[in-house]
């Protein structure tokens, strides 16, 4: 399974969510790797370096070039990785289309702000391009998840409602959401995730997210 965690916007939680999903599947016994496409910052490669003693193994590979990415992904597959997560960067729009094309599904984290909603609208155009290219060959699924979401103010609730409207474009808004919790930043300092930390609420949110992804995917594939 190739999961691309993508958004044209920076700082929405792509790397945080990529790492959490990776650890979730690794804890379930899957052979998991993350491809860090951030060729300038390499933040997830650095996270991996801080992760030496962690219980669950997650390998991290830096992307060399965008052109080589499909070949690299195939190599990871051939090497037995059952879950391959592409940790995206706020990329040029064409590059986003290319990343979507090599994925089984795309997870789009978004934080509750009008700016995010605007860039999400642009992202959807890229997603539709990719679906049009793949039409008749294979299906691709898109999920959007709210990050740094409390659901306790009008802005959050309005955002949730707005995202619901995009299901007509083939992007499914997940019920699960991730709250703004310091445990995400603290655990990352040690190359860990909230699944390996002491904030049970934060861990539970990630588990609920991953379970929802799993069940929704199964339902979609069976349709």
Ligand X SMILES: Nc1ncnc2c1ncn2[C@@H]1O[C@H](COP(=O)(O)OP(=O)(O)OP(=O)(O)O)[C@@H](O)[C@H]1O
Residue 180 as a binder of ligand X (CB under 6 A): the answer is: yes
Residue 93 as a binder of ligand X (CB under 6 A): the answer is: no
Q: Is there a contact between 165 and 30 (Cβ–Cβ < 8 Å)?
A: no
CA distance 140 to 106: 8
- Residue 18 or 97: the one with the smaller Cβ distance to Mg ion is 18
Helix, strand or coil, per DSSP, at residue 139: coil
Residue of this chain nearest to Mg ion (CB atom): 15
CA distance 174 to 54: 29
- Residue 14 or 98: the one with the smaller Cβ distance to Mg ion is 14
Q: Is there a contact between 107 and 99 (Cβ–Cβ < 8 Å)?
A: no
Residue 12 as a binder of ligand X (CB under 6 A): the answer is: yes
Min dist. Cβ of residue 132 to Mg ion (A): 27
Nearby residues of 216 by Cβ (< 8 Å), 6 or more positions away = 143, 172, 174
Place of tokens 């802005």: 155
Reference 21, options 4, 38, 37, 8; nearest CA is 4
- Residue 31 or 199: the one with the smaller Cβ distance to ligand X is 199
From candidates 36, 38, 116, 156, binder to ligand X by CB under 6 A: 38
- Residue 2 or 12: the one with the smaller Cβ distance to ligand X is 12
From candidates 6, 91, 97, 188, binder to ligand X by CB under 6 A: 188
Min dist. Cβ of residue 84 to ligand X (A): 17
Which contiguous run of DSSP H or E holds residue 17?
helix 14-27
Min dist. Cβ of residue 136 to ligand X (A): 33
**Sign of the alpha-carbon torsion through 144, 8, 78, 137:** positive
The item of ligand X, Mg ion, none sharing an interface with residue 10, based on CB under 5 to 8 Å by kind, is ligand X
Min dist. Cβ of residue 205 to ligand X (A): 8
CA distance 18 to 4: 8
CA distance 140 to 138: 7
The item of ligand X, Mg ion, none sharing an interface with residue 171, based on CB under 5 to 8 Å by kind, is none
The item of Mg ion, ligand X, none sharing an interface with residue 90, based on CB under 5 to 8 Å by kind, is ligand X
CA distance 116 to 216: 24
Residue 62 as a binder of ligand X (CB under 6 A): the answer is: no
| Site residues, ligand X (CB under 6 A) | 10-16, 38, 89-90, 147-148, 178, 180-181, 184-185, 188
């Amino acid at each position: 399974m190739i999961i691309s965690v993508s958004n044209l916007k920076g700082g929405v939680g792509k790397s945080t969510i990529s790492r959490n999903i990776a650890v979730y599947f690794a804890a379930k016994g899957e052979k998991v790797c993350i491809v860090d496409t951030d060729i300038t910052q390499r933040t997830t490669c650095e996270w991996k370096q801080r992760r030496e003693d962690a219980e669950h193994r997650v390998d991290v590979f830096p992307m060399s070039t965008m052109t080589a990415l499909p070949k690299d992904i195939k190599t990871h597959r051939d090497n037995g990785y059952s879950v391959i997560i592409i940790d995206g960067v706020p990329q040029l729009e064409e590059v986003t289309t290319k990343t979507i094309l090599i994925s089984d599904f795309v997870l789009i984290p978004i934080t509750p702000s009008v700016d995010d909603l605007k860039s999400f609208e642009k992202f959807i155009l890229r997603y539709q391009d990719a679906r049009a290219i793949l039409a008749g060959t294979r299906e691709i699924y898109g999920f959007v998840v709210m990050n740094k979401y409390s659901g306790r103010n009008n802005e959050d609730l309005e955002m949730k409602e707005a995202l619901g409207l995009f299901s007509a474009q083939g992007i499914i808004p997940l019920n699960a959401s991730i709250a703004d919790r310091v445990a995400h930043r603290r655990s990352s300092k040690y190359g860990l995730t909230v699944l390996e930390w002491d904030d049970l609420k934060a861990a539970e949110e990630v588990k609920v997210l991953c379970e929802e992804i799993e069940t929704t995917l199964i339902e979609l594939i069976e349709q």
